[in-house]
Amino acid sequence: KKLTIGLIPADGIGKEVIPGARQVLEALPNIGVDSPSFNFINLDAGFEYFQKNGTALSEKTLEIMKNECDGALFGAVSSPSHKVAGYSSPIVAMRKHLDLYANVRPVVSVASEKDFSQKHVDILIIRENTECLYVKQERQTTDESTGLKVAWAERKISEYASRRCGKMAFEMALGRDKFRQNIPLEKRFWKGKPKVTIVHKSNVLSITDGLWRETVRSVKENDHKYDSVDMEEQLVDSMVYRLFREPHYFDVVVAPNMYGDIISDGAAALVGSLGVVPSANVGDKFVMGEPVHGSAPDIAGQNKANPIAAIRSAGLLLEHMGFHQQALHIYNAVDEVLRRGEYLTPDLGGRATTQQVVDAVIKLIQ
């Protein structure tokens, strides 16, 4: 099958790591009967594009993604931390237009001789991708008694979004369990029954987080399909404590947008670097792979960005398009490069360039 993949490197190191991921996809040998071949379309978006063209995401990019692509790979965008007139994040817009309602982030230990990763971590974080505080309904008022500014933000939690995100969590808990059957027991980090941990803070935010909690719980309670999946819940603050103390305690974690954003960057620290953690923006009709890291202006243009997060994101893209064997092939090659430790970028304590890591992965893939 021929797959058309939209490539949107966007800003900073996105321009360095996405071409690397593309090379890895192109190097995939034929595996099995349904081995895909690829057709790539380069697409524009990002802050630099905005500075030249007045928009961060052209209609054309969206149209091509919708009408011509089977999936996409996105790099990273530099979003200014102050407000810039006319600018809004293209990634947020793409998630919305393509209805990519969950962001899926696997965080997995690296078995390496070098000691940069905690052991036995195998967590899948599922972050709701469309609402919460990121609906960006902010305003400013003045406090009459003090004359000082007050800033407000509205937070949206809907039953609709919570339910479909919760459903994805239980589906993926089952899917992971099945995927793990391909891995020998002694090599599996997670050996037990699949488990979903619901993250919230409904002791304080009883209406918003309360609705989230009840809705996600009801997904399992109303469907026997998920009987084999354990369900538990945890308040976000104590969840973070536990994440750092006992990371091997978690299997699938499902969280509202902002908690999920924060937890997943934190979880990346457990396995060495933001530069190794992939994600996929998933909807019912489209998938877009995206490394968890940003555009890393501090190292951009120096050929030292770690391409592994982007390469694994390409693997995730294939996994979510149903090409499990091909995805596993990419993951195994990446794991082996990390395990050998011969070609590591500076974020993992090595000296390799971006391209050297890409080449090392490709060598193992072929």
Which residues are at the interface with ligand NAI (CB under 6 A)? 13, 17, 76-79, 91, 274-275, 293-299, 305-306, 309, 345, 347
Given a contact cutoff of 8 angstroms between Cβ atoms, the answer to whether 126 and 252 are in contact is yes
Smallest gap from Cβ 294 to Mg ion, in A, equals: 7
Nearer to ligand NAI, 216 or 287 (CB): 287
298 binds, among Mg ion, ligand NAI, none (CB under 5 to 8 A by kind): ligand NAI
For residue 332, give the H/E element and its range. helix 324-340
- Token pair of 106 as six digits: 């696997």
Smallest gap from Cβ 6 to ligand NAI, in A, equals: 16
Given a contact cutoff of 8 angstroms between Cβ atoms, the answer to whether 127 and 261 are in contact is yes
Name beta bridge partners: 151: 140
Write the single-letter amino acid at 178: K
95 to 22, 99, 188, 257: CA distances (angstroms)? 22, 6, 32, 12
Among all residues, whose Cβ is closest to ligand NAI? 294
222 burial (CB, 10 Å; 0-12 / 13-18 / 19+) is exposed
Smallest gap from Cβ 57 to ligand NAI, in A, equals: 12
Smallest gap from Cβ 265 to ligand NAI, in A, equals: 8
Nearer to ligand NAI, 10 or 196 (CB): 10
Give one word for 46, left, alpha or beta, with left for phi > 0 and alpha for psi -120 to 50: left
Smallest gap from Cβ 309 to ligand NAI, in A, equals: 6
Going residue by residue from 238 to 277, which x/- string records binding to Mg ion, judged by CB under 5 A? -----------------------x----------------
For residue 245, give the H/E element and its range. helix 236-245
Nearer to ligand NAI, 175 or 266 (CB): 266
Chain residues binding Mg ion by CB under 5 A are: 261
